[in-house]
Structure 1
Amino acid sequence: MQQNNIKNIDEGLNIKPDISKGDIKNIYEEANVFFNAGTTKRLDELEVFYEKLITNRKKRLLEQRNRLESEIHTKSEKSEHLQNEFNKLMQYLGEHQALDVFVNLSSKSAELKSERDSLKKYQDLQSEYKEKERNANKSLLNLSEITEKYLNEMEPNISGLRSYFRSLGKRFYPNSVSGLAIDVNDKDNQVLFDIEAKIESDTSDGINNVKIFCYDLTLLFQGHNHKMNFVFHDSRLFDGIDERQKAEIFRIAYEEFSNKNKQYIATVNQNQLSEIKSQFTDEELQKIITDNTVLTLTDESDTQKLLGIKVDIGEK
């Protein structure tokens, strides 16, 4: 910038008048116009004035030019001195391997700064997560209150479910306590209700299977918001149940499903049928079992199987 200022000053020093007093007089003489003494005097005074003006301007510009050149010289010397000092320091760092240490420290500093930024992002994310967790807990608490209120409002309906389940359970175990427990599930999961079907001393497979039978019928006949019109039980349901209780299952099924727009389907093995025959009169056996047998399957040939063919269900 200072070099540009000097260049502008040099251009200003070279500026001269485009026309002199003599040139003005020659122009007027050629036009046959002659100056009187007063006019000539005024021209002389103007010429002297402008010469002084130009002289003062040149003097001021020269002073500025000298000052700028002095500043440039001083700064050049200072810059050269600083460059020499820098070169000496770099040479010293190189000789003592301090430059490598500096580079390593700079790299470590950048690494630590990056780690700090990552930790800061993690802390921010953790704070955001905790805030969302608090809001979720509030929502869960509010949902638990709504669910509790809903259960209280539905108590008459729930009471009917309990009574039906209990009446079925008493058919099998008259001296055992049975019923349905429906409570709010306020744990961290997606289940709103804890529904437990209970028959006292239900540790054996037999009682547990009876409980399944009673629960399925309760849902079918007393439940709401479903369109199921049948229940299917595999022969495994009858495993572990004594003959009297097996027979009671079929008595209940006959009573509950007769003349109803619902269907009970069960697959029963031949040995299971043989076990319950002694629990029925001939009339009951005919009415409950024989008249309601719609398909008999054997292993005598493939045509006697469910699909009428042999199906190889092997692992690929």
Structure 2
Amino acid sequence: MLRRLSANDPRFRHVDFSAGLNLLVANTTDGSGDKDSRNGTGKSSMVELLHFLLGARADKRSLPTRKALRKIAFSLELDWPSTDGGLLTVTRNGAHPDVVRLSQDVDADEPGHESLFDIDVAGPVDIPAARWTKLIETELFGLHGEHPGLSGRTMLSFLIRRISSHAFNTPTRTYSQQSEADAATNLAYLLGLDWKLAGGYREISAREATRRQLRQAVNDPVWGRIVGSTAELRGQITIAEEDARRLEEQIKAFRVVPQYEELKRRADEIDHGIRALNSQDSIDQRNLTDLHTAVRDTTDGDVRYLEPVYRELGILLGDQVKQRFDDVKDFHKSIIRNRQRYLAEEVEAIENRLTDRATQRERLGAELQQVLRTLNEGGALEALTALQQALAQKQASVEALRHRYEAAQTLEASALEIKAKRLALQRSLKDDLDERATQTSEATVLFSEFAQRLYGSGRQAYLEFDAGPSSLRIVPHVDSDDSRGISNMVIFCFDLAMAVVAHRHGRGPDFLVHDSHLFDGVDDRQLRDALELAAEVTGREGMQYIASLNSDDLEKAERRGYDASGKTLPVRLDDEFDDGGLFGFRF
């Protein structure tokens, strides 16, 4: 329950709440003129402050962020489930709306923050406002984990309706532009229905909206080329995925080789050395061939033909001359032997060099093979990084193609397909409503009971639950005319039934708050009966009902026999210019 609304400004008129019915009354003073109004006394401001302290988003138009109020720290004291019946005080100001201060740490997962408020509260902890809204969802509405489509703030807007959001226009919406699917999803949770099925309409509506936008863009040729067709994109995705798969396999098989660059240089050196040896072999092979030819052509000189020639010429050679020829012949043979020996030595030297180089080439070849095997099995870290970058780019390309494919699919999806999904969802929701007759009956019986208390047992009143074409339909019916006052009392009965059902089953808090605008145009008797009903139901259910009320409306109910003793709050607002309002000053 809500216990106290206060501020660190002494002019603020703090409001203390209790269990059951709480009436914040705005009076008119004896000096009030025809132009005086109680619209500025602070009744709706109380509702705005409650929302602000319960995590509402704050912008420049929010009440607490106005120049006259932004430095004031407002506080709300309330019962908090995780404190075992203890109280928790939340404080927030318009100067730092993104941070709230809690009087104690009820969020062990979130560290405390530096103080931003000039207050003296034992054991305070500052947390982000977004985290505070999550705590509200968990502790007050029992929401854990992911719950797309559900919002604690939306459900609080049903329990604390705001006139600034036009929340009193219809029972099943909290602001005029709220989608039916969004509102129905949150109402389904509060009433114990399958909120996930109700939330399915949100997905269909989003898809339908996207399809409409894409259909509008289909005539743009540039846009058409960007998106493409599903047939083209399907093939492109297949090829891109295969390329990505190959890169992944390369990376998985890749082994980083230490000193990769040194090994590459060594391989180049070995290759250069082998090429040099082959070049030297070519030269020696040519030289060896020339040497073999020279050896073959080197023979002894034959001079035996000289003596017959001289004899035919009639010249007889003496013994001395013959001796000279023999000496020359022996000398020539000596030269031939020396040449043959030299040539043989040269041939042997070349053959030895060829053999040595063959051995050296074989050794270098084995080393080169080992180095190349090592390089082929792995690579440098830079190469691995390049492969990983290429894979990342390819994966991004695949993802982009998939997005284009989804867009093309959405564009090409026919209205019949969306209609089929909508029909399937409607069938599932109808079946679920049949299975949850207990939950729908509980809410319907309460609503009917409350409406008949206001308008008599002869008045037909019920809740209609149906799987509509665009959302779960929850429609309150009261057999009556369409007057503003009766419409407002339909909202009153619906809100009270919803709050009771949610509280009974641990899906909502134990308070309900209504602004005085709800009672505009309400008949005296219905106002009296509504206040008595609220007191009776909250007393029976262990809940709290807070309502602001103009003094003249309260007087109308009292003339009808209503006893307001013990129900009105001690603080009374009036239209005194200086200090009659909730804030204690005008701004």
TM-score range, shorter chain: 0.5 to 0.7
Tell me the alpha carbon deviations over residues 121-154 of structure 1, each in whole angstroms, 9 at most, x when there is no partner: x9x9766622386655444333322212211110
Amino acid at match of 2:452: K
TM value normalised by structure 1: 0.53
When the two chains are superposed, the root-mean-square deviation of aligned CA atoms in Å is 3.4
Gaps of 5+ in 1: 1-23, 34-121
**Cα shift readout 1:140-190 (whole Å, capped 9, x = no counterpart):** 333322212211110122112111111111122223221100101233xxx
Q: TM-score, normalised by structure 2?
A: 0.30
* Whole-Å separation in 1 of the counterparts to 2:408 and 2:525: 62
Structure 1 pair 236/128, CA: closer, same or farther in 2 (3 Å)? closer
Q: What percent identity do the matched residue pairs reach? A: 27
Given the alignment, which residue of 409, 428, 432 partners 1:150? 432
Q: 1:273 and 1:29, CA in 2 relative to 1: closer, same or farther beyond 3 A?
A: closer
* 1:309 maps onto 2:585 in alignment: yes
Separation in 1, partners of 2:545, 2:566: 14
- Select which of 222, 226, 251 maps to 2:507: 226
3-state SS of paired residue (1:160): helix
Q: CA, structure 1 residues 127+275, in 2 after alignment: closer, same or farther (shift >3 Å)?
A: closer
Structure 2 residue corresponding to 1:296, chosen from 559, 562, 572: 572
Are 1:237 and 2:521 an aligned pair? no
Output the amino acid matched with 2:477: K
2:558 corresponds to which residue? 277
CA contact 2:516–2:549 (8 Å) conserved in 1: yes
Question: Deviations along 1:3-25, whole A, 9 cap, x unmatched?
Answer: xxxxxxxxxxxxxxxxxxxxx9x
1:11-49 Cα offsets, whole Å, 9 max, x none, are xxxxxxxxxxxxx9xx5787559xxxxxxxxxxxxxxxx
Map of 1:167 onto structure 2: 449
Superposed CA deviations along residues 55-80 of structure 1, whole A, max 9, x for unmatched, are xxxxxxxxxxxxxxxxxxxxxxxxxx
Other structure's SS at 1:218 match: helix
Rounded to whole Å, the distance in 1 between the matches of 2:298 and 2:538 is: 140
Secondary structure of 1:306's match?
coil
Indicate if the aligned counterparts of 2:429 and 2:467 stay in contact, CA closer than 8 A: yes
Residues 1:185 and 2:464 are matched in the alignment = no
What are the residue-to-residue correspondences of 1:56-205 with 2, within 5 Å? 129-131=411-413, 136-174=418-456, 175-187=458-470, 191=471, 193-205=472-484
What letter matches 2:512 in structure 1?
V
Question: How far did 1:231 drift?
Answer: 1.1
Question: Quick one: distance in 1 between partners of 2:455 and 2:483?
Answer: 13
1:257–1:125 Cα change, 3 Å: closer
Cα deviations by residue, 1:284-314 (Å, 9 ceiling, x for unpaired): 51xxx1211112111235433212232x2xx
Instruction: List runs of 5+ in structure 2 lacking aligned partners.
Output: 1-293, 304-403
Task: Give, in angstroms, the shift of residue 227 of structure 1.
Answer: 2.0
How many residues get paired? 193
Cα distance, 1:275 vs. partner?
A: 1.4
Shift of 1:273: 1.4
Higher relative contact order structure (alpha carbons within 8 Å, sequence separation ≥ 6): 2
**Structure of greater Rg:** 1
* Separation in structure 2 between the aligned mates of residue 309 and residue 127 of structure 1, nearest angstrom: 60
CA 1:135–1:250 in 2, change beyond 3 Å: closer, same or farther? same
Paired residue for 2:530? 249
